[in-house]
């Protein structure tokens, strides 16, 4: 797809910076004079089916604690979605509701690791994956990803070494944030063998699974083999694909007796904080939001191509990882004169916020492997993407 193919106006293109600031999300108000690309949420509103479901609930006064029939309806909807979209037959009883994926991550840490053990985090990584284990008395082993023919993958030899060094739990983010890699079946099978040989466990974050671009295809890690199912806890949510990050609802998928027993022993406390309105919204997403999601995914597919072409045209020396899934890209500034001048201790997030008026996540927050990079969320109208790249280009030129 070329820039010429993206000239036809789309309704999303009419959304302005002023509109987004008026809406008031943290993405557009924390640094109010900048373009916000630092938080993984979309700027396209929500599906009409979700708006209708939430509005109907409010009109009906359905604002109390979560009733079991509604919870069970979402459990079944998630099971149906995974069966239809990913070919994984999950019993609805094995879907449990939690407030967010970080709550799921904490449950995995306390279930699968002992105090003082290590959590293995392939990097670059979603920032809390590096921070949360420390809050639970665990250490973190970073495993830098490998780039092969322009595509980033996990270093399995380094993963095996990390397990040997005291690692007990591996974080698998698939589709990957921020690299955008969507793992193939062969890659997942090879990982499952490595983890099984080490006697390790896996926390599989699949929150971006609905946002994958052809020809890539999301394959749930726990579905690839019995061994993978036995050592995995899977987390997912409609929050990224349907823009519901503030609605406090996600799902755990249990695929082995160890995690079922841990959930029961915990009395389901890990699910505390799941919001009734979040369950209502996600139920509408999974059951009635497919058409809206298809439109958004098509738009994002064009936007990732646009971003790559704009970087190639206006940002010499900058490399961009074009994602196979997600709406997050990594911009690599290590080939620029700016990086040569600033050095490895520079905070590129702050530099571009101050000098380009574009707010991005500094790569160092994603692990040592991303030092010299920034994380750029392109789930925003294409005119804003273009303006952001032009501001970055002007700052680099100055």
Q: According to CATH, where is 3.90.1150.10 located in the chain?
A: 11-46+290-397
What is the dihedral angle through the alpha carbons of 353, 241, 171, 154, rounded to the nearest 10 degrees?
-80
Please tell me the predicted confidence (pLDDT) of residue 358. 98
Q: According to CATH, where is 3.40.640.10 located in the chain?
A: 49-288
Please compute the mean of the pLDDT values over residues 213-217 and round it to a whole number: 97
Residue 65 has pLDDT above 50, yes or no: yes
Please tell me the predicted confidence (pLDDT) of residue 1. 46
The closest alpha carbon to 196, from 165, 159, 244, 246, belongs to 159
Give percent of the chain above pLDDT 90.
95
**In this structure, are residues 300 and 378 in contact, taking their beta carbons and an 8 Å threshold?**
yes
- Going by pLDDT thresholds of 50, 70 and 90, the confidence category of residue 398 is confident
DSSP-assigned beta bridge partners for residue 227: none
Instruction: Please report how many Cα atoms fall inside a 13 Å half-sphere around the Cα of residue 187, on the Cβ side.
Output: 18
- Going by pLDDT thresholds of 50, 70 and 90, the confidence category of residue 60 is very high
Neighbours of 241 (CB within 10 A): 25
DSSP-assigned beta bridge partners for residue 97: 251
Output the pTM of the full model: 0.95
Does the domain made of 11-46+290-397 have the CATH classification 1.25.40.10? no
Copy the structure tokens of residue 252: 């755990």
User: What is the rounded CA–CA span in Å between residue 316 and residue 318?
Assistant: 5
Please compute the mean of the pLDDT values over residues 314-341 and round it to a whole number: 96
**Three-class SS string for the chain?**
CCHHHHCCCCHHHHCCHHHHHHHCCHHHHCCCCCEECCCCCCCCCCCHHHHHHHHHHHHCCCCCCCCHHHHHHHHHHHHHHHHHHHCCCCCHHHEEEECCHHHHHHHHHHHHCCCCCEEEEEECCCHHHHHHHHHCCCEEEEEECEEECCEEECCHHHHHHHHHCCEEEEEEECCCCCCCCCCCHHHHHHHHHHHHHHCCEEEEECCCCCCECCCCCCCCHHHCCHHHHHCEEEEECCCCCCCCHHHCCEEEEECCHHHHHHHHHCCCHHHCCCCHHHHHHHHHHHHHCHHHHHHHHHHHHHHHHHHHHHHHHHCCCCEEECCCECCEEEEECCCCHHHHHHCCCCCHHHHHHHHCCEECEEHHHHCHHHCCEEEEECCCCHHHHHHHHHHHHHHHHC
Please tell me the predicted confidence (pLDDT) of residue 321. 86
Tokens 């579905």, located at residue = 223
pLDDT tens sequence across 219-252 = 999 999 999 999 999 999 999 999 999 999 999 9
pLDDT tens sequence across 97-156 = 999 999 999 999 999 999 999 999 999 999 999 999 999 999 999 999 999 988 999 999
Please compute the mean of the pLDDT values over residues 328-348 and round it to a whole number: 94
Residue 277 has pLDDT above 70, yes or no: yes
Please tell me the predicted confidence (pLDDT) of residue 4. 47
> b/e map of 17-46 (b: 16 or more CB within 10 Å)?
beebeeeeeebbeebeebbbbbbbbbbbeb
Tokens 């359905």, located at residue = 62
- Going by pLDDT thresholds of 50, 70 and 90, the confidence category of residue 5 is low
Residue 6 has pLDDT above 70, yes or no: no
Residue 354 has pLDDT above 70, yes or no: yes
Residue 48 has pLDDT above 80, yes or no: yes
Residue 184 has pLDDT above 50, yes or no: yes
Tokens 């503030």, located at residue = 246
Among 1.10.760.10, 3.40.640.10, 3.90.1200.10, 1.20.120.330, name the CATH number for the domain at 49-288: 3.40.640.10
Q: What is the mean pLDDT of the chain?
A: 96
The closest alpha carbon to 143, from 130, 134, 133, 132, belongs to 130
């Amino acid at each position: 797809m070329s820039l010429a193919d993206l000239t036809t106006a789309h309704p999303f293109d009419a959304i302005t910076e002023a509109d987004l600031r008026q809406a008031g999300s943290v993405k557009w108000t924390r640094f109010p004079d900048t373009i916000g690309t630092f938080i993984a949420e979309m700027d396209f509103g929500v599906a009409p089916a979700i708006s209708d479901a939430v509005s109907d609930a409010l009109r009906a006064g359905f604002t109390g604690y979560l009733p079991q029939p509604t919870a069970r309806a979402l459990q079944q909807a998630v099971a149906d979605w995974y069966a239809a979209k990913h070919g994984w037959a999950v019993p609805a009883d094995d879907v449990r509701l939690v407030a967010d994926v970080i709550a799921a991550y904490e449950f995995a840490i306390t279930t699968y690791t002992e105090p003082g053990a290590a959590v293995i985090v392939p990097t670059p990584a979603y920032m809390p994956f590096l921070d949360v284990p420390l809050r639970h008395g665990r250490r973190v082993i970073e495993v830098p990803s490998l780039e092969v023919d322009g595509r980033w993958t996990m270093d399995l030899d380094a993963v095996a070494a990390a397990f040997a060094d005291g690692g007990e739990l591996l974080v698998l983010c698939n589709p990957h944030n921020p690299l955008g890699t969507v793992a193939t079946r062969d890659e997942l099978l090879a990982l499952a063998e490595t983890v099984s040989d080490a006697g390790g466990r896996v926390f599989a974050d699949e929150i971006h699974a609905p946002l994958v671009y052809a020809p890539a295809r999301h394959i749930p890690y726990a579905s690839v083999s019995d061994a993978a199912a036995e050592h995995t806890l899977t987390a997912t949510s409609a929050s990224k694909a349907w823009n519901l990050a503030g609605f406090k609802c996600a799902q755990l998928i249990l695929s082995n007796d160890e995690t079922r027993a841990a959930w029961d022993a915990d009395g389901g406390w890990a699910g505390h904080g799941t919001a009734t309105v979040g369950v209502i919204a996600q139920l509408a997403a999974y059951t009635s939001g497919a058409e809206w999601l298809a439109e958004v995914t098509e738009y994002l597919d064009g936007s990732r191509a646009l971003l790559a072409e704009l970087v190639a045209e206006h940002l010499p020396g900058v490399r961009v990882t074009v994602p196979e899934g997600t709406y997050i890209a990594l911009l690599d500034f290590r080939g620029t004169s700016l990086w040569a001048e600033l050095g490895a201790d520079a905070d590129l997030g702050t530099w571009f916020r101050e000098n380009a008026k574009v707010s991005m996540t500094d790569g160092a927050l994603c692990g040592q492997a991303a030092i010299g990079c920034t994380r750029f969320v392109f789930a925003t109208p294409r005119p804003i993407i273009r303006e952001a790249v032009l501001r970055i280009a002007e700052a680099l030129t100055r």
